[in-house]
Amino acid sequence: METIRRLAMISLHTSPLDQPGTGDAGGMNVYVLELAKQLVGQGVEVDVFTRATSSRLPQVVDAQDGVRVHHVHAGPFEGLTKGELPGQLCTFAREVLRAEAAHPLGYYDVVHSHYWLSGQVGALARDRWGVPLVHSMHTMAKVKNDALAEGDTPEPVARVIGEEQVVEAADVLVANTDLEARQLIDLYDAAPSRVQVVHPGVDLSLFRPLDKHSARAALGLPQDAAVLLFAGRIQPLKAPDVLLRAVAVLLHRLPALRGRLVVPVVGGPSGSGLDRPESLAALAAELDISDVVRFVPPVSQAELAQWYAAATLVAVPSYNESFGLVAIEAQATGTPVVAAAVGGLTTAVRHGESGLLVDGHDPERWAEALARVVLDEQLRITLEAGALEQARSFSWEMTAARTLEVYENARSIMREGVA
């Protein structure tokens, strides 16, 4: 069988070079870039196509040897919301096809699209280039709408239809977990034979155990603090408000804890959270916990690793996560996670071993879980050891090797279809 030499990866609505934690940049950005880097180590050259959001961006950026990010001009550079991007699909697709046309016939061996907008473009490129389309949903409208956060905006019908079209068009769909695979089959009528599970990974050289005292000193945190960390985009889906409400309950029950409690919220507004960027700070004031909450703008991956290591626990109260990279990254530093028992978080976190899973989003239940980790030192030590063990099961090297197998399988499926 011919080896895969070159891959076209499409990430239309957000660039892998963007800073995670604000705007539309998050776990998917990390996923695309880390997967691309590791595929290079497997002998594959990767071209990532993303929409240019500034006239100052160079047309092509070498992210590293073998990974090129193409900034495609499609629509105005600034001011377009994700909901307005479908109107730029034709222009974006035309420019992607034009980029490939500058090379000899058969330049790319596979197209891998990320998120439904990219899948629409990927389906056209697949048909024009005669190569298989592998698609990763990352999030799904039907799943999000079934577990909508209070005050969040439902995903439009146009997205649902678009996702259904991509599911039908893709040769192989990559699911992060077994649960996501079932959702693709049950909610989108995906053929089971075309759904394959590949767990995302974590950079174990970056997210690793660090000295907690040193990390706290570097970040200006008291050494004796109980640090309850939220990291991610500030939007209703990620539910940072659930953590703040739980903290208010916790302090009502244990007022003596206030003197050493610190609740850092690391990230920036995103999605429907952009409509009310100050809402979380207003909630903290309303709950009378502004003195313990710290709002920290998005940070580099290296600094994020410090925040994880400095924390007593990391809270992931999302209403849905296709996987939950924050949970794995935190555990890789040896920090336990308290997470909502939803989506991929039930795979990322082992309840009672690497962290605690909380059913629902009731602040009372969340306060109980937070208190268990903060107050029970023996439990915390057990969870810290379990967190490290859990994270060792995930690496981007394994993700890339498994994804490469998926690409090969997709080529076989496409050839069988042609035959």
Q: How confident is the model at residue 23 (pLDDT cuts 50, 70, 90)?
A: low
Is 402 marked within a binding site? no
Distance CA 3, CA 47 (A): 17
Q: What is the mean pLDDT of the chain?
A: 93
Is 13 marked within a binding site? yes
Is 19 marked within a binding site? yes
Is 26 marked within a binding site? yes
Is 263 marked within a binding site? no
Q: Is the pLDDT at 144 greater than 70, yes or no? A: yes
Is 329 marked within a binding site? yes
Do the bridges between strand 195-197 and strand 67-72 make them parallel or antiparallel, or are there none, so unpaired?
Answer: unpaired
Rg (CA), the chain: 21
Is 335 marked within a binding site? yes
Which residue would you say has higher pLDDT here, 306 or 148?
306
Q: What is the pLDDT of residues 50-82, one digit of tens each?
A: 999 888 899 999 998 899 999 999 988 887 788
Is 31 marked within a binding site? no
- pLDDT number for residue 47: 97
Instruction: Name the maximum alpha-carbon separation found in the chain.
Output: 72
Distance CA 177, CA 166 (A): 19
Q: Is the pLDDT at 20 greater than 70, yes or no? A: no
Is 188 marked within a binding site? no
Which whole-number Å values give the CA distances from 201 to 221, 372, 392, 408, in the listed order?
A: 29, 28, 9, 20
Is 73 marked within a binding site? no
Q: Is the pLDDT at 84 greater than 50, yes or no? A: yes
Q: How confident is the model at residue 149 (pLDDT cuts 50, 70, 90)?
A: confident
Is 168 marked within a binding site? no
Q: Is the pLDDT at 419 greater than 50, yes or no? A: no
Q: How confident is the model at residue 370 (pLDDT cuts 50, 70, 90)?
A: very high
Distance CA 115, CA 101 (A): 24
Torsion sign over Cα 377, 209, 226, 284 = negative
Is 25 marked within a binding site? yes
Mean pLDDT of 306-333: 96
Q: Is the pLDDT at 274 greater than 80, yes or no? A: no
Whole-model pTM?
A: 0.90
Is 160 marked within a binding site? no
Q: Is the pLDDT at 25 greater than 80, yes or no? A: no
Is 137 marked within a binding site? no
- pLDDT number for residue 54: 87
- pLDDT number for residue 273: 44
Is 321 marked within a binding site? yes
Is 308 marked within a binding site? yes
Is 29 marked within a binding site? yes
Token pair of 124, please?
A: 């056209």
Do the bridges between strand 313-316 and strand 226-231 make them parallel or antiparallel, or are there none, so unpaired?
Answer: parallel
